[in-house]
């Protein structure tokens, strides 16, 4: 996609030479540039390039997706060493001076007025408190012997045995792992983000801990993390505690490998769990996919213009010049470029009995898609900042001071994914409207009912698709509702406002799964429609010589009888015009 510069040029060129997609520069092309950067990230790994070197400032969205979903490796940058050592040393000096530091020699949250006797146990105590999530137990790990009723068996023991038997026999309502545990890609992304933000050097955590986190990731030792339980207020405390627990060697983490457990020094446990990494990871995957869907929606628009024998007039640069919204400008330019040289588009200003202009799902596509592109651009900016932000508390400033604040509040991510989910609904609405237009013979400009290629009275090929996309769009409409407005006060009133960023990000992933199915249905329908349109055009191309021959033969006797009685030149011109008029009406009625 082209840059949001308000200018329109004749074509869009998608090349690797585009300005890189990164966190310090606005993406010049939010769709194609993201794809280019993502392709580079994958190619680097395939080519044996060195791992990404995290320093707290160089992680971009495309690279994060490559790590999370395509196993790109990551390690600490040498440049991060000095900053991290400096902050860890500053904390030790503060502790030795007797300073009261939250989460180091105090309790947590609403219990921050408590002063623990054993500071070295604070991190372990924190992890125990945060391991409240639900993850599936391996089959057979909780065996209860089945018992028969007799005098030696208590009623309680018999009931427990019966309950265990019923539980084993029951078919689950949903997959226990899928319904309770985060997908591996989410956890991989969270591990990469957490390590990168800690490498920024403001969290008073040692290099050995962060490098161990990256080692787990690179060796593909990914802990099971509960799907639910975070309100994304003080960051993602519980989900991150399961990642930290893998480093600490907690047996509840279902990882059994030859990996030395790490003993946390003061604040290191808090540094690991107090942050937005999980929310940011899920949001990043969602926003990346949404950008791809937005680009696909423009391709599908161009294909639909051809399939419906529409016109490219609606995407003429003139419209963006007189209404220069950035998203509209980019979308119109892309679609106009995709249609360049098409032999299936029509001009509607010469035919009778034909719509002078296309219906809204085509004619206003750039105006409809444009605002979603602008929302996705802002979402991209927000998540790009978050990927390289320190989000725990307290933090160590450059001059060694302990600063207590609230960077863990994930409201910026909630804002990003709520916009993204709304964009999914909006794009889906356009795809739904246009797909029904393709299937309906009253609106598809001469294509068969239900896009059938055989006998219409015996086949209803795409009628099922018509029903399915209605279900998908209805679900998208429900999922587009805001999550961030459902806040409940938590943790002794301390977390009275909380972002619900992870919940919102999860629902955005769900919305994208639905939108992907809707896009796939539209793609299949428009490909079928294009095939039928091509067959129809080929038919008329072969029919025209036969039509002209029959026309001339029918009028041959008449012209011979009239020969010499009038101006032959004038009469032949009128006959030629009549022939064109009849041909236009024949093709118009058929269409």
Tell the burial category of 162 from Cβ atoms under 10 Å away from its Cβ (0-12, 13-18, 19+).
middle
Alpha carbons 308 and 345: distance in angstroms, whole number: 8
b or e along 57-73 (b: 16 or more beta carbons within 10 Å of the residue's beta carbon)? bbbbbbbbbbbbbeebb
Quick check: 117 and 107 in contact, CB under 8 A? no
Quick check: 74 and 198 in contact, CB under 8 A? no
Alpha carbons 301 and 10: distance in angstroms, whole number: 18
Phi, psi at 65, each rounded to 5°? -65, -40
Phi, psi at 52, each rounded to 5°? -60, 135
Quick check: 576 and 560 in contact, CB under 8 A? no
Cα angle, residue 151 at apex, residues 149 and 153 outer, rounded to 5°: 60
Distance of CA 497 to the CA centre of its chain: 26
- Dihedral-angle region of residue 517 (phi above 0 means left; psi in -120 to 50 means alpha; beta otherwise): alpha
Which one, of 46, 91, 90, lies nearest residue 71 by Cα? 46
Which one, of 273, 334, 277, lies nearest residue 305 by Cα? 334
Cα angle, residue 63 at apex, residues 57 and 65 outer, rounded to 5°: 125
Assigned token pair, 110 = 């609403």
β-strand pairing of 74-76 with 52-54: parallel
Quick check: 440 and 498 in contact, CB under 8 A? no
- Residues with catalytic function: 102
**SS3 at position 402:** strand
Distance of CA 376 to the CA centre of its chain: 10
Alpha carbons 95 and 396: distance in angstroms, whole number: 13
**Residue that the structure tokens 């996609």 belong to:** 1
Phi, psi at 234, each rounded to 5°? -90, 50
Quick check: 102 and 487 in contact, CB under 8 A? no
**SS3 at position 482:** coil
Q: Is the N-terminal amide bond of 394 cis, ω within 30° of 0?
A: yes
Quick check: 381 and 24 in contact, CB under 8 A? no
β-strand pairing of 395-396 with 402-403: antiparallel
Phi, psi at 163, each rounded to 5°? -60, -40
Alpha carbons 576 and 561: distance in angstroms, whole number: 18
Taken in order 8, 13, 18, 23, is the CA torsion positive or negative? positive
């Amino acid at each position: 996609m082209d840059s949001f510069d308000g200018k329109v040029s004749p074509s869009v060129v998608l090349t690797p030479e585009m300005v890189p997609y990164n966190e310090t520069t606005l993406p010049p092309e939010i769709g194609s540039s993201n794809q280019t950067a993502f392709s580079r990230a994958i190619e680097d790994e395939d080519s044996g390039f060195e791992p990404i070197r995290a320093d707290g400032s160089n992680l971009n969205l495309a690279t994060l997706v490559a790590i999370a979903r395509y196993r790109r490796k990551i390690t600490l940058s040498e440049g991060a060493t000095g900053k991290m050592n400096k902050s860890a040393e500053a904390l030790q000096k503060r502790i030795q001076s007797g300073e009261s530091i939250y989460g180091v020699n105090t309790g947590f949250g609403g219990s921050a007025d408590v002063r623990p006797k054993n500071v070295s146990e604070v991190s372990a105590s924190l992890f125990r408190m945060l391991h409240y999530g639900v993850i599936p137990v391996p089959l057979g790990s909780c065996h209860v012997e089945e018992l028969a009723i007799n005098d030696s068996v208590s009623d309680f023991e018999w009931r427990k045995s019966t309950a265990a038997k019923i539980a084993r026999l029951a078919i689950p309502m949903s997959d226990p792992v899928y319904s309770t545990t985060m997908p591996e890609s989410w956890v991989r992304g969270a591990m990469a983000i957490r390590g990168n933000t800690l490498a920024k050097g403001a969290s008073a955590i040692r290099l050995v801990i962060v490098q161990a986190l990256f080692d787990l990731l690179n060796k593909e030792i990914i802990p099971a993390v509960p799907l639910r339980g975070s309100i994304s207020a003080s960051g993602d405390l519980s989900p991150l505690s399961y990642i930290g627990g893998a480093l600490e060697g907690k047996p509840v983490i279902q990882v059994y490998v030859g990996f030395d457990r790490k003993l946390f020094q003061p604040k290191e446990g808090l540094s690991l769990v107090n942050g937005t990494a999980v929310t940011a990871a899920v949001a990043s995957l969602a926003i990346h996919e949404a950008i791809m869907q937005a680009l696909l929606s423009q391709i599908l628009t161009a294909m639909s213009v051809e399939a419906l024998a529409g016109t490219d007039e609606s995407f003429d640069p003139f419209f963006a010049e007189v209404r220069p919204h950035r998203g509209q400008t980019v979308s119109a330019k892309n679609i106009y470029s995709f249609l360049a040289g098409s032999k299936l588009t029509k001009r509607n200003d010469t035919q009778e009995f034909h719509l002078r202009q296309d219906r809204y799902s085509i004619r206003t596509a750039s105006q409809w898609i444009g605002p979603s592109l602008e929302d996705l651009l802002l979402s991209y900016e927000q998540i790009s900042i978050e990927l390289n932000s320190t989000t725990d508390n307290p933090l160590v400033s450059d001059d060694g001071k302990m600063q207590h604040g609230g960077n863990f509040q994930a409201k910026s991510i909630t804002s990003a994914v709520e916009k993204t989910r709304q964009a999914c609904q909006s794009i889906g609405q356009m795809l739904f409207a246009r797909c029904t237009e393709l299937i309906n013979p009253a609106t598809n400009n001469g294509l068969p009912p239900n896009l059938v290629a055989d006998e219409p009275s015996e086949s209803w090929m795409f009628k099922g698709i018509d029903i399915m996309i209605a279900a998908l769009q209805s679900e998208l409409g429900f999922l587009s509702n805001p999550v961030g407005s459902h806040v409940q006060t938590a943790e002794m009133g301390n977390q009275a406002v909380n972002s619900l960023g992870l919940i919102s990000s999860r629902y955005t992933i769900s919305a994208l799964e639905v939108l992907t199915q809707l896009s796939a249905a539209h793609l299949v329908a428009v490909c079928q429609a294009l095939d039928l349109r091509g067959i129809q055009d080929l038919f008329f191309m072969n029919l025209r010589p036969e039509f002209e021959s029959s026309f001339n033969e029918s009028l041959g006797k008449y012209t011979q009888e009239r020969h010499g009685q009038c101006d032959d030149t004038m009469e032949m011109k009128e006959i030629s015009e009549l022939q064109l008029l009849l041909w236009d009406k024949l093709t118009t009625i058929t269409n």
